[in-house]
Structure 1
Amino acid sequence: MNPSSLAAKDPLSARTSKFSAVLRVTSGNFLEQFDFFLFGFYATQIARVFFPSGSEFASLMLTFSVFGAGFLMRPLGAIVLGAYIDEVGRRKGLIVTLSIMASGTILIACVPGYTTIGMLAPALVLVGRLLQGFSAGAELGGVSVYLAEMASPGRKGFYTSWQSASQQVAIVVAAALGYFLNSWMTANEIGAWGWRIPFFIGCAIVPFIFFLRRSLQETEEFKKQRHHPRVGEVFRTMLANWRTVFAGMLLVAMTTTTFYLITVYTPTFGRTVLKLTTADSLLVTICVGISNFIWLPIGGALSDRIGRRPILIAITLLAICSSYPALSWLAAAPSFGRMLMVLLWLSFFFGMYNGAMVAALTEVMPANVRVAGFSLAFSLATAVFGGFTPAVSTYLIQVTGDKAAPGYWLSFAAVCGLVATLVLYRRGGAAERSATLA
C-alpha cells in the first residue's frame, strides 16, 4: 500500500511507511552519488593512471575535464530518462537509472591503466563517466519528485531535503574510505591500485540497492494523473516552458557550484593548492558532509514554515558578500583549522539554500513533466556550473596566482541564484502560485 493511503487509518503506520519509502528511494541515490563522486575524490590518482603528463596541472585538467564531461551528458539523460520516468512511473524509472550508473562504475573500476592499454584506457574511462552522467541526469530529479509527491501536506521542503542529505552520507563514506586507505596503505600503493577499492565496494552493494528499489511503491499523485506524456510531448512542453527551465537552471547554479567546491574539489584543493596533508583534506571533507547532512533538513523544514523565497535570497546575499573574503583568509595562512572553519561556513550556505531550493524547483515545474523539467534544469546547471567547478577552480588559480580565486566563481553562481529567485518569485510569479497550491 502507498504510504499516503495509510495516513487516515493509522498515523503511526503511515509515518513508518513514509520513513521506509524515504530510505528505499534515497539508498539508491546514495549509491549513485557515491560512485559518481569517487572520481573527483581520487582525481590525483586517476590522473596519474589514465592521463600521465609531465605537468601536474595538465594532468589534473585532463582528469577534471573528463569528470566534467559526465555532466555534459546530464541534460540528455534528464530529457530521455526524465521523460521515461514521467511516462512509466517513478519506481520503474529509478531502477533503470540505477542500472546505467552501475554499468559506468564497473567500467571505471576495471579499466587497466594507460601503461597497459594506451589511449584505450582514458577512452574507456570517458565512456564510464558518460554513462554515469546520463544516469545521474534523471536520478536526482526522479528521487526529488518522488519525495515531493509522497510528502505530508506542508512538509514538502523537509521531505525533499533528504535527496541531498543522502548524497552527504555518500560523501562521508567515500571520504572516510579514503582516510582509512591513506592510513593503511602507502601513497604509491594507493596511486597504483588502492584507489580502485572504493569503486569495487560501490559495485559490490549494487544488488542490495536493487532489492530496496524493487520494493518501492508508485506515488499516488502519479497514479492520479490521467495522461502520462511520451518523449515527444515532453520535448514540446519543455520548449513551451523554456523560461521556467532556464530560471530553474540559474536557481540551481548556486547549490551545485557550492556543493562541488566544498566536497569533490576539497581533497585536491587541500593537497595541491594549500599543501595540507591528504588526511587533513579528507577529514575536512568528512566534517563538511556531516555538516551538510545537518543543515539540509533544517533548511527544508524552515522553508516550509517561512517560505522558500526569504531563505534563497538571504543565503545568496551572504554568499556574494563572504565567499571570496573567507577563502582569502584561508589562503593567507593555510591550516587544518582554517580550512575546516571556511568550508563549514560554505556548508551552511549549501545546506540552507539547497534545503529550500529543491522543493522550490519541484513546485515550479508543470506536473505532467515534473521529473523531466526538474532534471533538465538541474542537469543544465550542473553541466554549466557545478560539474566544471574543479576544472574552473584549478584554471583560475593557475592563471591568477590567487589561491582564493574559486571564491569569484562561487560568488558569480550566487548572483545567478539571486536573480533566478527574484524572477521566479516576482509578484504573482509561477513559483508563488505553485507554492500556494502545494
Structure 2
Amino acid sequence: MQTTEVAEKKQSQVRAIFNVTSGNFLEQYDFFLFGLYAKFIGETFFQSDSAYAALIKTFLIFAVSFLMRPIGALVLGPYVDRIGRRKGLMVTLSIMALGSVIIAFTPGYQTLGIAAAVLIFVGRLAQGFSAGVELGGVSVYLSEIAKDNNRGFITSWQSASQQVAVVFAALLGYGMSIVFTKAQVHDWAWRIPFIVGCMIIPMIFMMRRSLKETEDFASRQHHPTTKEILSNLASNWRIVISGMLLVATTTTMFYFITVYTPTFGKEVLHLTTKESLIATIMVGVSNFIFLPIGGHLSDKFGRRTLLLATSFLILVTAYPLLNWLTHSISLGHLMISLLWLSLLYSFYNGAMVVTLTEIMPRDVRTSGFSVAYSLATSVFGGLTPVIATFIVQQTGSKTSPAFWLMFAAVLSLITVLTLFKQMKLRRVTA
C-alpha cells in the first residue's frame, strides 16, 4: 500500500510538472519564432531602405518587449504572491495568448501601414508583460512542490520545458524550408508556426486549470497584501539586484545560443537556413538533456560550486571558441561550439534558477524572483541579439559577440562569490 502511495505521489508530481510548464512552452515558442523569422517579420511590418535596418528594427521590437517584463513582474508578481500560484498562472497565460494572436494575424505594412508595426509592438508588449511573472511563477511552483534533496532537479524542468519549444519551433521551421520556397516563407508562410501556436492555446488552458495550489502557499496563515509585498520587496532590494546579476549569464547565454544563433549562422557565418535550423534543433535537445542533469548536480555538489565552475569556463572559453568557429566555418564546427555553450548554459542554469527561489524571502518569493529575472532579461538577454548584431557591424569582427558573453560571466562570478558569502554570514548571525 505504501509503495502504491509513493508511486501515485510521484505520478501526481510528474503530471503537475508537465501541466505547469506548458505555459512556459508557449512563451518560449513565440519568443523563439520571433527571433527565427526576424528578417521576414522585419520586411513584412517595417518599411526600410536596407535589410540590416529592417533586422535591427525587428530585434529592437524583440528587445523592447523585455522592458515590459519588470513592469509585469511588479504588477503580476504581488498578485501571484497574494492570490496564489495557480490563479496567477492562469492570468499570465491569458495575456500571453492575446499577444500570440496579434502577432499571428496582423496584416503587413503594405495593408495597414504604420498601424501594422504598432500592432506588432503591442503584441510583443503583451507577451513581455505576461512573461515578466510566467517564468517566476512556474519556477516557484516547482520549487514549492519539491523536497530539499531534489529541489534543483525538479525546478530545472521550468527551463527544460522551454527547450521543447525551441526544438518544436525549429523542426517546424526546417519542415517549412523544405515545403515552401524562400519567397513563400517571406510573403506569408512564416505566419504558419505562429498560427500553430494559437491552435494549441486551448489545450494549455485545460492543463493549467487542473493544477492544484502548492501546500506551501495553501498552508500559510497570512497572505500579505499587495502593499505589504511591495514594501517587503523594496526592503530586500539588495537581494533582488544580486538575483538580477546572478541571472545575467543565464539569459545572455540562452538568447545567444537559441534566438541569435539562426541569424548568426545565416547572416554572419553565411550558412544555409537548413544548416542553422539543424544546429538550433541540436541545441534545444542538448539543453533539454543537460538542464535536469545540471539541477541534479546542484543538489548533489551544491549550488555555489556549479555556478562558479560554469561561469569561469564561459569566461575563459567564449572567445577562443568563437574565434575558432569564425575562422573555420562549417556546420560541424558550429555544432561543436553550440554543444559546448549549451553544456555550460545548462549546468549554470540548473543551479541558478533554484538558487534564485531559495534566496528570496518567502512572502515575496514570486515577486522577487520575477523582478530579478525580468531585469536581467531586459538588460542582458533581450538585448543580446541587438548588441551582438551591432558589435559585429561596428567592429567587422565575427568573433566580437564573445565579449558580451564574457562580460555577463564576470558579473555572475562576482555575484556568486559575494552572494553566498552574505548568505553564510546571515545564517551565522541568525
Q: Same fold (TM over 0.5)?
A: yes
Whole-angstrom CA distance in 2 between matches of 1:255 and 1:185: 35
Determine which of 209, 213, 230 is the counterpart of 2:208: 213
In the other structure, the counterpart of 2:42 is 47
Give, in angstroms, the shift of residue 59 of structure 1. Answer: 1.1
TM-score under structure 2 normalisation? 0.97
TM-score of the superposed pair, with normalisation by structure 1: 0.96
| Cross-structure match for 1:99 | 94
Give the corresponding residue for 1:338: 333
Distance 1:7 1:134 in 2: 45
Cα-to-partner distance string for 1:92-132 (whole Å, 9 max, x where unaligned): 00010000000001001111111111101111100000000
Q: Does 1:59 align with 2:54?
A: yes
Q: 2:421 aligns to what SS in structure 1?
A: coil
Tell me how far apart the structure 1 counterparts of residues 154 and 356 of structure 2 sit (CA, whole Å).
Answer: 14
Residue 327 in 1 paired to residue 318 in 2? no
Amino acid of the structure 2 residue aligned with 1:401: G
**Retained in 2: the 8 A contact 1:7–1:13?**
no
Contact 1:69 1:130 in 2 (8 A): yes
- 1:138 maps to which residue? 133
The corresponding residue for 1:189 is: 184
| Residue 315 (structure 2) pairs with residue 315 (structure 1) | no
Candidates 360, 364, 384, aligned match of 1:369: 364
* 1:286-332 Cα distance to aligned partner (Å, 9 max, x none): 00000001110001001001110000000000000010110111111
State the 4+ residue runs in structure 1 displaced beyond 3 angstroms. Answer: 6-9, 427-430
Q: Which residue of 2 aligns with 1:3?
A: none
2:148 pairs with 1:149: no
Q: Shift in Å at residue 241 of structure 1?
A: 0.6
Q: Is the 8 A contact 1:7 1:14 kept in 2?
A: no
Instruction: Please show how residues 236-255 of structure 1 align to structure 2 within 5 Å.
Output: 236-255=231-250
1:105 maps to amino acid? S
Partner of 1:420: 415
Distance verdict in 2 for CA 1:8–1:234, change over 3 Å? farther
Distance in 1, matches of 2:2 and 2:47, equals 58
- Cα shift at 1:231: 2.2
Q: C-alpha separation between the residues in 2 aligned to 1:188 and 1:312?
A: 45
> Secondary structure in 2 aligned to 1:49?
helix
- C-alpha displacement at 1:185, in angstroms? 0.1
Deviations 1:409-431 (A, max 9, x none): 0000011111111111116437x
Residue in structure 2 matching 1:396, options 391, 398, 407: 391
2:221 to 199, 205, 226: 226
Show CA shifts across 1:129-186 (max 9, x none).
0000000000000000000000033110000000000000000001110000000000
- Unpaired stretches in structure 2, ≥5 consecutive residues: none
Q: Aligned partner of 1:391: which letter?
A: V
Kindly report the root-mean-square deviation, in angstroms, between the aligned alpha carbons of the 2 structures: 1.6
Work out whether 1:169 is the aligned partner of 2:127. Answer: no
Q: How many residues align?
A: 429
SS at match of 1:153: coil
Match of 1:288 among 283, 288, 291: 283
In the alignment, is residue 264 of structure 1 matched against residue 256 of structure 2? no
Q: Which residue of 1 aligns with 2:28?
A: 33
Distance in 2, Cα, partners of 1:52 & 1:362: 44
Give the conservation status (yes or no) of the 8 Å contact 1:266–1:281.
Answer: yes
CA contact (8 A) 1:225 1:368 kept: no
- Distance, in Å, in 1 between the alignment partners of 2:176 and 2:217 is 44
Deviates more, 1:327-336 or 1:418-427: 418-427
Quick check: 1:71 aligned with 2:76?
no
